[in-house]
Amino acid sequence: METRKRRFQTPHTYVIIFGIIVLAWLITFMVPAGKYTTHTLNYQGSNGETLTRQVLEQDSFRYMHPLKPTVLKQELQKLLKQEDKLQAFEVDAEALPLLIQQSQPISLTDLADLGLEESELYEFSGDKIYDTSQRLHKTATIWGTPDHGGFGFLNYIFEGLVTGDRYGSAIGIVALLLVVGGAFGIIMKTGAIDAGIYAFVQKAQGKEFMALPLIFFMFSFAGATFGASEQVIPFLMIMAPFCVALGYDSITAVTITFGASQIGNACSWMSPFSIAIAQGIAGLPALSGAGFRIAMWILITTASCLFMLRYARKIKQDPKSSPSYHTDQYFRQHQASSDQQEVQAFTVGHKAVLAELLLGLGWIVYGVMKLGFSIPELASQFFLIGLGAGIIALIFKLDQLSVNDLALAFKDGIADLAPTAVVVGMAKGILLVLGGSEAGEFSSLNTILFSVGNLLSGVPSIFGAYAMYIFQSLFNLIVTSNSGQAALTMPIMAPLADIVGISRQVAVLAFQLGSGFVDAFTPVSASLVGCLAAARVDWSDWAKFQIKMQGFLFALGILFITIAMMISYQ
């Protein structure tokens, strides 16, 4: 009898994230919750303007403890006698005495309802209101919602999807994905991209390899200058079929666009979302040390580009060796069906659609860099691009499309990216299960951050620098926002660098390298997931290639941190 060996199947992204969710939930049983006092910090932006950011206060960490009811009421009685404090804390002075007189114990929620926050009470009374012999855990229930029994970890998808606002993850990113998907559904339906790719392939025989490094450097520069991330998603709608048509794969497409942008972000000398914030929190002049970083950007981008070209050449020689070969069949079949039909001429209408698309993308890049476009503006501009492409298709009668055909194309484009929108919510749910990423709220994540800070104190300086880099890389597996990670970690890492004997500039360097490189790998990144969805690449297939590139980038990061230490980078 013939025995069949079942091949190991890499888990689907949904399965991987669910496993992380369960692990995060179990961690909260073992790691008690903690928090910091936060304050508003003013720092200088890349254009010299004054910006603000909520950051934690050094040495303000405390664990979550049970309250001492009697001591709490005594402290509140003292607070009532200090009108200046009541006014500074903006406490309801009429309701507070009634709360003190009630027979049942007073909770922090009761006080917050009167305007007295835990950090203000801690500032006034310190630890004396707590039973510090016990450390409490902030563990989610199995099921629930914040307004019905408390948050439960099995509700992580819905709660993750509805967190945030229109300017960020998850709601903003989800809305952007759906709008971009619909807009590109219309653009693809016009046939302009297919016809343009076919025309390019015909005219660039033997020279197409030169396009890859050019595109790689362009997106790396975009990441270095304005922190391009989710802005890359729509470009994959074009680059994935383009790369497959040239004999490469969609992994190459993601690498020369999103991967390159995150390499640029990691080596940036002027990104307002990472460098400006981190240096401001560390007390360094805005965008200082740019010369070293510019040289680092050139060298790391060049080395990474060569790594990518080596992989691309291998795929060109043997397309079946690609981890994404099975998913790239979508683009191959699409191109084959186009080839079996009459070869579509590259008409004036197609050129008009592509010209409108390029002008629109150029306008968006300008808007992001000069006009401060964020997610709402990006979504509206992409919708306009899609609408414009549809109008051009109707005017030139491309493929005899009707208004209803364009509406259905918009619907299909949304459907293509809907699964990705769910992943964005799932990824956000990881932070919710850990208690959130706010330094001023009790969570297991804050305790982990505090513990790492304690571990690093007292180690030799060079190993301290390496440890900071490793920690920032691992921390970015959970918190992918560069600005959010800077606000959480730099208030600890900056003074810790002084203790260990590392310059604060090196501490910022470790932050940006760790938070930048790993953004191209972690399945928690909404931007990465969006790019992979646009290229129809499973995260597990992407990880097979990217884990090798991450090892290469990590080695480069260690090299430049070593150089920075040797030259006493300031």
Q: Per-residue DSSP letters for 51-101?
A: EEEEEEPTT--EE---B-HHHHHHHHHHHHT-HHHHHHHT--TTHHHHHHH
Neighbour tally for 87: CB within 10 Å: 10
pLDDT at 10: 57
Give me the count of residues in the chain. Answer: 570
Amino acid letter, residue 278:
A
pLDDT at 48: 66
SS3 state of residue 49? coil
> DSSP alpha helices (H): ranges in 402-481?
403-433, 444-456, 461-475
Neighbour tally for 433: CB within 10 Å: 28
What is the token pair recorded at 204?
A: 């660039």
What is the token pair recorded at 443?
A: 């969570």
What is the distance between the alpha carbons of residues 195 and 239, in angstroms, rounded to a whole number? 14
pLDDT at 3: 43
What is the distance between the alpha carbons of residues 334 and 370, in angstroms, rounded to a whole number? 38
Q: Per-residue DSSP letters for 319-348?
A: GGGSTTTTTTHHHHHHHHHHHHSPPPP--H
- The alpha carbon of residue 430 and the mean position of all alpha carbons in its chain are separated, in whole angstroms, by 13
Is the separation of the CB atoms in 385 and 183 below 8 Å? yes
pLDDT at 445: 84
pLDDT at 340: 46
Is the separation of the CB atoms in 310 and 535 below 8 Å? no
pLDDT at 369: 64
User: Rg of the chain's alpha carbons, rounded to an integer?
Assistant: 26
Q: Per-residue DSSP letters for 282-293?
A: HTPPTTTTHHHH
C-alpha angle 501-439-522 in degrees, rounded to nearest 5: 80
Nearest to 46 by CA among 287, 394, 341, 250: 287
pLDDT at 501: 81
What is the distance between the alpha carbons of residues 272 and 457, in angstroms, rounded to a whole number? 29
What is the token pair recorded at 484?
A: 């959010």
pLDDT at 223: 86
Nearest to 159 by CA among 521, 434, 419, 417: 434
The model's pTM: 0.73
Number of H helices, E strands in the chain: 25, 4
pLDDT at 273: 66
pLDDT at 145: 85
Spans of the chain, pLDDT less than 50: 1-5, 8, 340-341
CA dist 356 to 222, 363, 394, 400, Å? Answer: 21, 10, 14, 20
